[in-house]
Amino acid sequence: MRLSLALAACAPLAGPAQAQTAEEIDARMAERLLSAGDSYRAEPEQPACPGGTEGGDNDIVVCAREDSAQWRVRSSREIDPLSREALRDGLPRAPQLDRGSCKGQPGCMTGGWVPPPVYYIDLKAIPEAPAGSDADKVARGEMADR
């Protein structure tokens, strides 16, 4: 399989008059792949760590990755994801029909509450006031109720 791929890749490059062995083709193919890889390789993320001072064999050099996040300014999207600047990016969003708790928000209408219970009193079941009692005098108007 490796030989057939190498032959297929080098076939247009090799002239019909040249006789090549499989090892020669493999060597040329490996050389071309290595040289082509240089153009696709990314630059190192961090520069190499510099050495100590000249002539200092006893120097200790400590290298660490540079944290670029400390110099970065946070965007309005990161500070307040629901701000106007964060939401005006052209992406369609579903409407928020549930506003959460309505308590304390202006323009918020609630469904109300359950009214207090109504007590029904059957007045015919109440006995008549005894004659001469305060209730009887109030009922006849002889005495003020308060």
Residue 109 in any domain: the answer is no
Residue 30 in any domain: the answer is yes
Question: According to the model, what pLDDT value does residue 1 have?
Answer: 47
Residue 59 in any domain: the answer is no
Contact 108, 102 (CB under 8 A): yes
* Spans of the chain below 70 pLDDT: 1-17, 43-48, 50-57, 99-101, 103-104
Amino acid at 93: R
pLDDT tens column, 14-32: 555 577 888 889 999 888 8
Question: According to the model, what pLDDT value does residue 118 have?
Answer: 92
For 12, the domain range is 2-40
Pairwise CA distance, residues 59 & 103, whole Å: 67
Residue 17 in any domain: the answer is yes
Contact 76, 84 (CB under 8 A): no
Domain count of the chain? Answer: 1
